[in-house]
Every structure is written in C-alpha cells, then in structure tokens.
A and B are shown apart, each in its own frame.
Chain A
C-alpha cells in the first residue's frame, strides 16, 4: 500500500508535465482523425478526383463537364494551389481544356485536353478512358449527323450499365474506426514510455534504491506492486482514448467489432507496459529511458504498419517488425475490420496474435524481474 500511495504521489507531483503530454497527444489524435476521410458502404466505382480548368468555354466543353459529373469527383481548387493538391493527391488529375479546343475538335483536327497525372498510374488510365469514351461518341454522332442533340442522346446510351451484385455479408464499413485504433498503437506506446519512464526512474536513484532495499518489502513484491500501479495507470490512459473514439465515431462504433478491438487494445497496452518496464530495468538515466522510448515508439510505428498499411510494406521488414508488439496489434485490427462472421474458427488468427502479445508480456516481466534482482545483488 505504501508503494501504491507513493506511486500516485509521484504522479501528482509531475501532473503538469503529464497533462501537457496527454493534452498534446489527444490533440494529435483528434487532428489525425479529422484528416482521415470516410467511405461509403455499398459498391461504388472508385472515382478519380479531378481539378478541371476550362479555358475554352463552349457548349461542347459544358457538355463534357456535365458528362464528367457522373464519373469523376470534381475538386474546386484555386489554380495557384492545385500543384500542392496534386502532390498530396487531393486531386489525381489536373485537366486543362485549352482555348480553341472546340473549333479544332469539330473540324476533326488533332486536338487534346492537357492533363497532369502520374504517368502510367491506374487513375491516369481511368481518366483517359472516361474522357475518350465520351469524345469518341460525340465524334461518331457528329460525323454521321445522327441526331441534333447528341449530348442527351449519348447520356441516354450511357445509362446502360452492367449490373453489379454483392454477396450479402460483405462491406460493412469500419475503416475509420479501424484507422483510429491503429493510430492508438503509437499514442499508447509514446505516452506510456515517456510518462511511466519518468515516474519509474524517480524510484531508481541509488539512494532511494538502497533505502528500499533495507525496507522489509521484498524486491519482487515491490516490483509487482509497481507493475500493478503502472497497469492501472496505462489502462486509465487507454480509457481516455477509448472514450474519445466513442465521442468521435458515435454512429459507427457500436458494433461487435469494437469489442474485439478494445480487447486487443487492452492486451497491447499491457504488453507495452511490460516492455517499458523492461527498458526501465535495463537503463538508469531518465534521458536514456526517454530516448529509447521515443525511438521505439515512433520507429516501430513506422515499420509495423501503424502509419502506413502493412500490405504496402516490404515483406522482409515485416518479418523484423514481428518482434514488436505493435505488429500483432495492428494485424488483429486489420483482421477484425475485415471479417464479417464471428466464431472461434474465423477468429483464430486474432486469438493467436493475442497469445503472441501475452507471451511477450510474460517474457518482458520475467526478464525485468531477473534483471532487477541481479542489479540488486550486484549492489551488495
């Protein structure tokens, strides 16, 4: 109980810095959540995002735009800023209809819309197909004088589409919640390693440790109580984040998936706590612990797929990433977000990843107890 009280006393003393940390990370989380985009739940063609600038302004170009409305997403972006937007792929195609386009087109001269795209990308290909389809149809109509109002006639023809069907169970949208929780992996790691690091290091100064050693509390018991305190503290932090997700995504979060994701989170948090505990038992100085915590939290976030989806990543790197608990956490998140049925057989990969994390936890705890004991003996 004494240890327990002491722990909270240290927290209270450093409360200001901790609150700043927590506040900034919450802000970071909210900002990230805002910059992610939401998707829809039924089958939809993937539409190319286009910024179109019409320098010709004729009835033909108006018709082109009218046609494109159904097939692309128009982005209204200031011409000066459009290159920025293209870099970040806010728009994937910049299209400029040059002056005199219509005249040349109607005279059957060679003419083209200027587009800026990533060469040979799928989006470039798709956009070129969309434009060419319409303009080729217009040409066929014009050349053969089929009807006077070619535009509405073509639109009529374009209504013919292949029908698309989906198996009933698929496509429940959970992407945004899932991304949020992927990101939590980083926040939890960074917060716990810095805050817990600075609390624990306080107890490690030689004088205090010597004093503790002559006390009647055994080293093991002391460590276990501290571990318990840290767990409580970590779970407290986690619940703040979970609460935040409930506020942000109240319409899509109430779902059986969330339950599994929260279980995953909880296991992950405990694993991170034991990992941090392990780091603390290895190193003495506040700065080293803080430094290692920072490198590991940010570094592992990059190689385990927290910021960049695992499917894009190099297979060799992912092998290395398996040594970090984040890898397993993220893997379960992806899996849970994708599965549609929940029974033991389907969830088996998730349970396996849980197990890996739990084993990691146990290993870290044992290692830190052993190291702590050794250091204590070395002192004598």
Chain B
C-alpha cells in the first residue's frame, strides 16, 4: 500500500504527463465546443428566396409560387418580382443571388450560378408546375369530359409518407462523435503513464528503475501498484473530462452517466496497458517511446474519427476489423451506441472486446518484463 501512495505522489509531480492526461483533453474539448458546439451539419427547410424577372413574368406561376407552403404558417417561397431580367443577371454574376426565373416564348427558364438545395427545391417546383399543366392539356384533348374530375383530384393532394421514430434517434447529431473520440483519445493518453511505468521498473530504462530493481519487492507487485496509481490518477482526470463535457459544455450524451463513466474506466485501463505494452516492445530512450506512443495514440484516435468524422464510418464499412482492434474506435463506438441506439448489447460487446485487449496488453507486458534480470546496467 505504501508503494501505491508513494507512486501516486511521484506521478502527481510529473507535470508533463498530468498535462497530457487532464489539461490537454479539456483544452481540446473547449476548442471543439467553440468550433462546432451548437452546430448541426444538416440544412433545415426554410422559406426560399425566389426571383422572377419583372419584364418576363407569368402571373399564374407567380401566384402558384406564393401559395405553396412548407407547413401551415410558413410559405415555401418568398417571391420577388420587382427587378428586371438585366438587373437579376447582374446580381447573379456578382453571386448576390443564387438564381432567377424568367419566361420567354412560353418556356420557363431557371438561371442559376451553381447547384444547391435551394435551387433544387425551386426547380422541382417549376417542374411540377409544368407537368401539371401538361397533364391538364392532355386530358383536355383526349378526355375532355373527365377534365373536371381530374382537376378536383389534383386539387386534393395527399401525403403518402409518415415519419417513424422507432429504433435509433433520428435527431442525433453526428458532430457529437468528435467529443466521443476526444474521450477515447483522453483514455488512450493514459498510455503515457504506461510508458512511465515501464521506465521506472525496467532496469535498463532509467537509474531510478535500476535502483528499484535491486529491492526485494516482487516485480509483479510493483507493476500492479504502479498500475493502480496511474489508473487512479488518469481515471480521475477522465471523469473530470466527462463531467466537464456533459455539464459545462452541455454536449449531448446518453443519459446513463454510470455507463459513460464505466466506458472511460475500461478505456483508461486499456490506455495504460497499451502504453506499457508499446514501451516494452520498442527499445530506446523513454523520450523516443513517448514520442512513438503519442503519435500512435493520435493515429488511433484519428481512425476513430477525432479529426475527420467520415473516417470512422469509412473504416467501419471498409475495414471493419480495424474498428474491433483499435481501442480508440471501440471507445468511441461504445459511447455512440449508447447515444444513438440506446443499445446495451452493442455497448457491452465493444467494452468486452476492449477488456480482452487490455488483458492481452497486460499479459504481453508481463511476459516481456518477467524474465529480465540484469547483471550490470
């Protein structure tokens, strides 16, 4: 027990690692929040500005446009018929408007400067107008007696779709993945403690470790105590991060706080064991090990969507195996399952795989460290 407290004190003095473990993720979370905290990437339907050239207009079309509605109180178009075609053309070239409509020789022309959602909505309305007109003319020539019925039927537009809400939450915002990947990264940065653990126990790594090595304390006991000390500290940091994100920055999470904390607990174990495993695999100075652990952690976080969120989806669908062996992806994905699916089974599968990975790391680390005896360092 004394070893544990001494080690904890040691770790608390390691300013660099404390920074990576606690301050860095919180800084980054704040940046994320500033960048896109309240953002969604989906465009919501809103009234579209439409311009019809005053000198080439068609009254009935304008009237139809003014009448369509998004819902009971919102019109689909805000129609402006005050400018001439020449004026509108100039506005279009200056990128002040996205498009305008004029009617020449009975033909409706929609002039635009780019593709886009607003343009698509406008064009689709114009198409529909033309198509209905065509239908009426056609019926009038082939079945004039049915014209009245057809017109009544046309006037009686029905909706054939119904929005369902079952299963996952359709309003889920995909940008939240960034925050989940951030938590995953914070867990992965537990690997710095792992490197420190190896540095201070393996005799060829530092003078301190050489001294520790000649004490009669069993190596396994040392590893466990050092590990527990790192776990305590890093887990504390991660809980602070989660609480900071959830309550201060109001990032959307699943409501089940206990499971989120559990994720970061397992994640922290994964991170520390991962770090020590890499540290026993790579030979060289502790600085070199830290550099490599840093860049690998960052890379794994990148694969889990930390920088570009589409990357996570791309990996999940094209190289799914990578998602199962990457601790950062497992973490991001378990938080995502909780948030989006409310699915406990998927969540626990991810966490279980991570636990197995951590055990592999521990065993790997121990096997590599166990036999080492030094005659001289």
Contact = CB atoms under 8 A, between A and B. Distances in A.
A133 B70 contact: no
Interface stretch (B33-41, B194-202, B213-221): B33-41
A113 B162 contact: yes
Interface in B110-132: 110-117, 119-121, 123-124, 126-131
Interface of A: 16-17, 20-21, 24, 27-28, 31-32, 34-36, 43-46, 81, 83-90, 95-96, 105, 111-133, 135-137, 139-140, 143-144, 146, 157-158, 160-167, 170-171, 183, 186, 198, 285-288, 290-291, 294-295, 298-303, 307-308, 312-314, 317, 320
B107 A87 contact: no
Instruction: Output the residue of A86, A111, A320 with the most chain B CB within 10 A.
Output: A86
Which 7 pairs between the two chains have the least Cβ-Cβ distance?
Answer: A287-B16, A299-B31, A162-B126, A302-B35, A112-B162, A88-B313, A125-B45
B243 interface: no
B170 A116 contact: yes
Interface residues of B, number: 96
Chain B interface, DSSP helix/strand/loop, else mixed: helix
Contacts of A136: 154, 157-158, 160
B113 A166 contact: yes
Interface in B26-58: 27-28, 31-32, 34-36, 38-39, 41-46
Nearest to A302: B35
A89 B174 contact: yes
B314 A35 contact: yes
A302 B312 CA distance: 18
A291 B127 contact: no
Contacts, number: 267
B35 A303 contact: yes
Contacts of A95: 161
15 contacts: A24-B295, A24-B299, A85-B313, A87-B336, A87-B340, A88-B174, A89-B42, A115-B162, A116-B165, A128-B161, A143-B149, A157-B134, A162-B109, A162-B123, A312-B41
A295 B24 contact: yes
Contacts of A162: 101, 108-110, 123, 126-127, 129-130
A140 B153 CA distance: 6
Contact of B109 (A31, A35, A163): A163
B307 interface: yes
Contacts of B316: 84
A18 to B, nearest CB: 9
B160 A112 contact: yes
B112 A164 contact: yes
A157 B115 CA distance: 24
Interface string B161-191: 1111101101110100000000000000000
Given A20-B291, A166-B111, 16 more contacts: A84-B316, A88-B310, A114-B163, A116-B164, A116-B167, A117-B163, A118-B170, A131-B160, A144-B150, A158-B131, A166-B113, A287-B16, A288-B16, A299-B27, A299-B28, A320-B34
Instruction: Output the residue of B24, B70, B158, B311 with the most chain A CB within 10 A.
Output: B158
Nearest to A303: B35
A268 B193 CA distance: 35
A121 B43 contact: yes
B106 to A, nearest CB: 12
A302 B16 contact: no
A81 B317 CA distance: 9
A132 B150 contact: no
Interface string B1-34: 0000000000000011001100010011001101
Contacts of B157: 132, 136
Contacts of B129: 162
Contacts of A32: 307-308, 311
Contacts of A87: 168, 172, 174, 336, 340
B45 A146 contact: no
Contacts of B162: 112-115
B57 to A, nearest CB: 14
A117 to B, nearest CB: 6
Given A83-B341, A123-B42, A163-B108, A35 B311 contact: yes
A135 B46 CA distance: 24
A291 B19 contact: yes
A118 B42 contact: yes
Nearest to A89: B174
A36 B34 CA distance: 24
Contact of A146 (B15, B139, B308): B139
A171 B124 contact: no
B272 to A, nearest CB: 19
Contacts of A46: 115-117, 119-120
Contacts of A117: 163, 170
A218 to B, nearest CB: 31
A122 B121 contact: yes
B297 to A, nearest CB: 11
B29 to A, nearest CB: 10
